[in-house]
Amino acid sequence: MLEQSVKKRFKPGLKVVRATSRTINTIGSAVPTWAIINPNLSGIIVTKSGQRQLIAGEPATTSVHVLYCELTDLKPGDRIVDQAGAVYKVNHTRDPQQRGIFLKSDLEFVGNEQQGQSLP
């Protein structure tokens, strides 16, 4: 069945991170404080589409991905950090078969995790 073939490809090690509060920085902008809510989610991230373009004369890549994962508490705005430190923003999450077997989430690549810095 489809759900079994998808679940066989899941790998542990994804982190689910959520903004728990916001603080105001020195220039008056709200900066989120992030907390890990699931340190070892099992799933797989698949590239859906991507494009390269110039923004203000600098090359930029925009990419959209899909996360298939075990059932967990995911909300729009959460971040997924993969094993290599790539950070993805959760845009939409659903149970595609309405059977409580796995989640399918649309993700947007937002950057890389930097040691000692806030998530993008």
Q: Is the pTM of this model over 0.85?
A: no
Q: Model confidence over 38-63: pLDDT tens digits?
A: 999 999 999 888 777 777 888 777 78
d(CA 58, CA 38): 35
How big is the chain, counted in residues?
A: 120
Backbone angles phi, psi at 31, to 5 degrees: -120, 125
> Domains along the chain?
2-112 (2.40.10.270)
Confidence of residue 97 (pLDDT cuts 50, 70, 90): low
Cβ atoms of 82 and 71 closer than 8 Å = no
pLDDT at 21: 85
